[in-house]
Amino acid sequence: MSQEELLVLIYKKDERAFTHLYDMYSKSLFSVINVLVKNREEAEDVLQEVFVKIWKNIDSYHESKGRFYTWILNIARNTSIDKLRSKNFNNSQKNLSTDNFVNHFEDSSKLSDKVDTIGLQEFVKRLKPKCIQIIDLLFFKGYTQQEASDELVIPLGTVKTQNRNCINDLRNYLKV
């Protein structure tokens, strides 16, 4: 099923479309979510929440404003960041047992493989070192532009400009 056919079915709220949507995008979205959340169980919950949001909010997607994959990727990223900033998530992280820390270290050793499976890592590596830092903070670690500005000790306007330029460089590499 093509993406265009899928979108038609999703707009019609055809239940078969949900299964196709999940099959087409769950692995790549889970990789992004897991990189941000760093907890497999929480990432699975966020993934489920993301697909519900996609399904419920499909009417807010417009092809003229961007690609469908970019739209759902932003939903996944924003939902992950919301999860990280939630009080319940922060409290649960404070109460982790030492057994869980071993699992976190094991999981984090595989993160580069998971990011690479969606094909971004190789393209990001081609960017200038400053771009790599900014994209890492903003997109993979979920920093706001202000937080990235504080972390890199550069003005907010510079972060915004460099982010835009870096994304344009990335688009050129991806030929999008």
Q: Do 79 and 112 reside in the same domain of the chain?
A: no
| Position 97, amino acid | S
How far apart, in Å, are the Cα atoms of 28 and each of 57, 105, 116? 20, 21, 10
Both 108 and 85 in one domain: the answer is no
Are residue 127 and residue 157 in the same domain, yes or no? yes
Rounded CA separation 39/16 (Å) = 30
Q: Which domain holds residue 143?
A: 101-174
Residue 52: pLDDT band (50, 70, 90) is very high
31 closest CA partner among 103, 112, 144: 112
Q: Which of residues 69, 93, 117 is at a domain's end? A: 93
Predicted local confidence at residue 75, as pLDDT: 92
Mean pLDDT score, 87-92: 56
The rounded distance, in Å, linking the Cα atoms of 91 and 74 is 25
The pLDDT, as a whole number, for residue 117 is 43
DSSP string, 73-106: HHHHHHHHHHHHHSHHHHHHHHT--HHHHHHHHH
* 23 and 87 housed in the same domain: yes
Supply the CATH number for residue 72's domain. Answer: 1.10.1740.10
Write down which residue in 76, 93, 110 finishes a domain: 93
In a shared domain, residues 142 and 113: yes
Q: Give me 144's structure tokens.
A: 């706001």
* 88 and 105 fall within a common domain: no
Q: Judge residue 148's burial from the number of C-beta atoms within 10 Å of its C-beta, 0-12 exposed, 13-18 middle, 19 or more buried.
A: buried
- The tally of domains found in the chain comes to 2
Tell me whether residue 134 is exposed, middle or buried, using C-beta atoms within 10 angstroms of its C-beta: 0 to 12, 13 to 18, 19 or more. Answer: buried
Residues 110 and 85 in one domain: no
Instruction: Give the pLDDT confidence score for residue 50 in this predicted structure.
Output: 93
Same domain, 143 and 71: no
Average pLDDT, integer, range 153-161: 90
CATH code of 115's domain? 1.10.10.10
